Amino acid sequence: MISSTHILILSSILFSIGLIGVIIRRNAIVALMCVELMLNAGLLGIIGSSLTTRDPSAQILVLFIMLIAAAEVAVGLAIIVMAFQHLRDTDLDNYSSMKW
Amino acid sequence: MIFLGLSAITILSAVIMVLSRRPIYSIISLIVCLYGLGGIYLLTQSQFLAIVHMIVYAGAIMVLFLFVIMLMNLDFPESLIRHKGIRLGAILTSGVIATIIISRIDRFAPSDAVRQSLTVKAIGKLMFTQYIAVFELSTIVFLSATIGVILVAGSRPVTPR
């Protein structure tokens, strides 16, 4: 039986790896994937902290977050595709025209 | 032991995802990482969540990433050398954040005192009775996301270069 401490530590390590990726990677798609990794670390944290009470509501919460994340990935990739069609580039440094 | 192996696979493939130069390799290692996470969900005895995670995340969402990269020819190799200061700052920042989170975690003892049933049947019953409004709202979110994606990505570029 795994304790929830182990899972919470694993989730925080994964979260920080995803944070490093978001900061150092300049490719827009890889940055979006790192955001996905951070989101998954958060979901793992929810599951890990629900291990003490074993409430099935936590799983339903994680399930809905997963479904929303699917929609979010679709919209994010659509925005990247549109920006690539306009700028012919996926480098986030060249997306600075989206600032204003 | 299984948990240690799975978490080693997960962390290793996450590091490979961040450090690999081509986006295709990043996607492949992220798929490995998500399957490791699915195995960890299985170890916590949330079977339904593990299955949904493997199908939705490692299946559908990663295939979406692969399709976008392969159809749009986005697989440019990227050099990781040019942001030395940013890299150092990123590692410092996330190291500080990870230590703060880890130090704030309460040390739970492994408890199997309360054994509620976490089967697919229990979860389905809860989802379609207590959380039915959330379920219906999520379908509306999906519909609006679909319309938005078609409007954003399906339109021709306004200023073709």
Cα–Cα distance, A34 to B43 (Å, whole number):
24
Contacts of B47 in chain A (CB under 8 A): none
Same domain flag for B72 and B2: yes
For residue B128, what is the DSSP state?
T
- How far is the C-alpha of B121 from the C-alpha of B126, rounded, in Å? 9
Select from B43, B148, B161 the Cβ nearest to the Cβ of A75: B148
| B135 lies in the same domain as B64 | no
Choose the CATH number for A4-98 among 1.10.287.3510, 3.10.150.10, 2.30.110.10, 3.30.2400.10.
1.10.287.3510
Instruction: Give the domain-ending residue among B45, B76, B107.
Output: B76
In the prediction, which pLDDT does B133 show?
Answer: 93
Nearest CA in chain A to B160: A86
* Per-residue pLDDT, A64: 92
In a domain, B127, yes or no: yes
Domains: count for chain B: 2
Rounded average pLDDT over B10-25: 90
Domain CATH for B19: 1.20.120.1200
Interface of A with B in 48-67 (CB under 8 A): 48, 51-57, 59-60, 62-64, 66-67
CA distance B35 to B65: 16
In one letter, which amino acid is A31? A
Average pLDDT over residues A3-11: 86
Assess whether pLDDT exceeds 90 at residue B58: no
Report the alpha-carbon distance of residue B94 to residue A19 in Å, rounded. 6
Residue A26 banded pLDDT, cuts 50, 70, 90 = confident
pLDDT tens sequence across A41-95: 999 999 888 887 777 888 899 999 999 999 999 999 998 888 888 888 778 877 7
Q: Which two tokens stand for residue B39?
A: 């195995």
* Of the listed ranges A4-13, A50-59, B54-63, the one predicted with least confidence: A50-59
**Domain ranges within chain A, ordered by starting residue:** 4-98
Question: Among B76, B97, B127, which residue terminates a domain?
Answer: B76
What pLDDT is recorded for position A41? 93
Same domain, B64 and B124: no
Mean pLDDT score of chain B:
83
Does B92 fall in a domain? no
Asked if A29 lies within 8 A of B89 by C-beta distance, the reply is: no
CB contact under 8 A, B30 and A33: yes
* Residue B69 domain-assigned (yes or no): yes
Taking the Cβ of residue B127 and every Cβ of chain A, the question of whether any pair is shorter than 8 Å is answered with yes
Tally the C-alpha atoms within 13 A of residue B47's C-alpha that lie toward its C-beta: 7
| pLDDT for residue B140 | 94
A18-27, B53-62, B66-75, B145-154: segment of lowest average pLDDT = B66-75
DSSP state of B156: P
Task: Please give the residue range of the domain that contains residue B10.
Answer: 1-76
A5 Rama class: left (phi>0) / alpha (psi -120 to 50) / beta: alpha
